[in-house]
A and B are shown apart, each in its own frame.
Chain A
Amino acid sequence: MTLNERLLLSGDEAVALAAFDCNVALGAGYPGTPSTEILEYFAHLGGHAEWSPNEKVAFEVALGAAFGSARALTTMKHVGLNVAADPLFTAAYSGVNGALIVVSADDPGMASSQNEQDNRRYAEAAGLPMLEPSDSQEAYDFFALAVEISEKWRIPVLFRMTTRVCHSKTIVRRREERMPAPTPAFDHDRRARVMVPANARPAHQRLRKKLAEMAAWNDDHGPNKVVASGPELGIITSGISFMHTREAAPQASFLKIGMTYPLPMEMIRRFAASVERCMVIEEGDPVLATAIRAAGIAVESKAEMYRFGELDVTRVRRILRRDESPEAAPLPGKPPQLCPGCPHRRVFEVLRDQDCIVAGDIGCYTLGVLPPFEAMDTCVCMGASIGVGLGLRHVLPEEQARRVVSVIGDSTFVHSGLTGLAEMVYNPPSTGHVVMILDNSTTAMTGLQEHPGTGRTLLGETAPKMSFEQVAQAMGVQQVHVLHGGSTVEDLEDLLAQARRSNDLTLIIARNPCLLSAKRDARRGKEEKA
């Protein structure tokens, strides 16, 4: 691959290539569809990439790098930004010395997510600039612009992608030269970096000043474009919606906004005044429409039914002709399922047969909710299994409380299960509790990523391996049991039944490697030999 070359890349790959070409010194993230491939490809290109235990830590590592005047990248799916929200909001005050680009990938339509939150809300809530590419070329170009904005205003930049931008392949022309790298160094700017109230108060004022400057810059120089056509219909849009809408309404004039926070409001005002009918087309929440109307500009927007799910050309045509009749449901395909022979299977058979109340979690094993198991009763967010299980144990009548079991995957346990164990030991229910870690030694759901419990880094190199059993013992969990591949279904049945009868706090680690990762490792081994 050479500079200035034309390439067919996914949006994720384009971001990774841009990060590489912008000399980003460090990329840290946590896997999550549809963002996962960014760091994998960045590493493949030779960038310094790492999987952190969760998004908050990843964000903080990247923030540290940006405090040290380097360019840093952090990647996550939309809900990952909820986990990283605490440092996010205050990093908006502290700012950065280098560049910090925060990529979060929304999943409208929930192809592989537990909600369809619209992360554009974070830009306004935290007070951070946001860029939104609509294809791989823009993902590549806007990334470099994000670096420039971040360095110019010394502020983290939110980079919002969506499933169809991340996972569509489109053509990219690579830049002619790589961006020269800054030299990392630290200066003791304590008033800017130590957010005690006395420092944070002026920092908040500085932030609002930066935002006002950026809004003016966005009006004059932002990555926004007008596609002028007839005056009958003008459409204001951003991201992937631009592509669908141009196809659905080739005669319309367009204002396509690339930087959606702070908005180029004067540009919007002029555009709206230049057309007879002005309409906002956006996927998800009515974020643009609400902000534009609040600025006193009259625009039409989509009907409420189009808040749900992805947009596409067909739906945009319906929006434009104000069609609110029920949409034809797509014919159902075959739902996903646990792989034949997956080690999670027998755990769910036992949970089902013992009629457990299962506080579940997120991963491949969430498929335990489907027949023939139907052995999961709650699933909210990563790590919730332990807290939710404890809450149920505290309030349910004893007979039911004893049936409550928390089930969590290994990657999820490292991500956000550790604090749940601390809670369990500190505030134990009177009937005790049972937590099961379904340890298949990989992050299977998102495509077999490593984590601190697998003993390998993102690049597959050997790393220290966190021992869940030792951690649990050190935290004060009374009963810690490990079931390996050699153990039988009866072993699991007996252990679970006994744990549920006792008032102890029990952790059962069901350890059996994922079949897909075993296959992948065998293939890798073969390739290495060849």
Chain B
Amino acid sequence: MKQPVINIKIAGLGGQGVIRASDILAEAAFRAGADVKKSELHGMSQRGGSVSSDVRFGDKVLSPMIPGGETDYLLVLSPDQVENNLPALKPGGVLIRPETVAESALRNKKSLNVALLGALSACLPIPEEVWLETIRQSFPEALYADNEQAFRLGREQGAKQYAH
């Protein structure tokens, strides 16, 4: 993979699966052969408060944290977390909103994180098989079908709404 660093920030509230989502994204980019770094804060911040995680991948990543205002894709899981995270987005960057995928369309509404990853995936140079394989290994077998459905739904929506 020959490419400049892509910066993705995933944000939401404790318990929404922000860190799980960034783990999947980082792992998928890693399997696709990129240099990857991801960073977030654990601990106190997870008791229902704001949580965010940075994932950066490309040929060579240095700092694990995205420099201010240089986020290419901002993926937000909770509507009330859009505004405070918006300053991280670079001019012309893509905001993937929580409403991108209707909760009612999900077999399991806990899969919103994976659905939004699906939407993001339509914009990234990571093959679909790598995504699905990574998702398969990230959840117990019983939850795979729900997450696959969420991912495919998000990917379809993302292709329409965000990919260019």
Contact = CB atoms under 8 A, between A and B. Distances in A.
- Among B43, B52, B65, residue most surrounded by chain A Cβ atoms (within 10 Å): B43
Nearest to B141: A530
Nearest to A10: B38
A225 to B, nearest CB: 15
Interface stretch (B29-37, B90-98, B148-156): B29-37
Interface string B122-160: 000000000000000000101000000000000000000
A46 interface: no
B65 A527 contact: no
Interface string A350-374: 0000000000000010010000000
Contacts of A337: 47-49
A313 B65 contact: yes
A79 to B, nearest CB: 13
Nearest to B29: A8
- Among A169, A314, A331, A337, residue most surrounded by chain B Cβ atoms (within 10 Å): A169
Contact of A446 (B38, B43, B45, B80): B43
Nearest to A110: B44
Given A112-B41, A168-B38, A170-B37, A334 B81 contact: yes
Contacts, number: 115
A168 B39 contact: yes
B3 interface: no
B10 interface: no
A312 B62 contact: no
Contacts of A336: 14, 44-49
Contacts of A168: 37-39, 64
B26 interface: yes
A334 B48 contact: yes
Contacts of A169: 23, 26, 36-39, 64
A112 B45 contact: yes
Interface string B56-85: 000001111101110000000000110111
Interface string B1-19: 0000000000001100000
B63 A334 contact: no
B100 interface: no
A248 B62 CA distance: 10
A127 B140 CA distance: 49
A155 to B, nearest CB: 31
B41 A243 contact: no
A243 B50 contact: no
Contacts of A164: 39, 64-65
A167 interface: yes
A112 B43 contact: yes
Interface string A327-354: 0001111111111000000000000000
A389 to B, nearest CB: 24
Contact of A111 (B30, B43, B69): B43
Contacts of A170: 36-37, 61, 64
B107 interface: no
B45 to A, nearest CB: 6
A331 B87 CA distance: 8
A445 interface: yes
A440 interface: no
- Among B37, B84, B140, residue most surrounded by chain A Cβ atoms (within 10 Å): B37
A112 B67 contact: no
Contacts of A423: none
A119 B68 CA distance: 28
B18 to A, nearest CB: 12
A204 interface: no
Contact of A112 (B30, B42, B61): B42
Given A111-B44, A135-B37, 5 more contacts: A8-B27, A247-B62, A247-B63, A313-B65, A333-B50
| 4 pairs of A and B residues whose beta carbons are closest in the complex | A333-B50, A112-B43, A33-B43, A336-B49
19 contacts: A111-B44, A135-B37, A167-B42, A168-B64, A169-B23, A169-B36, A169-B39, A240-B63, A243-B64, A246-B62, A314-B69, A333-B50, A334-B50, A335-B49, A336-B14, A336-B44, A446-B43, A530-B140, A530-B142
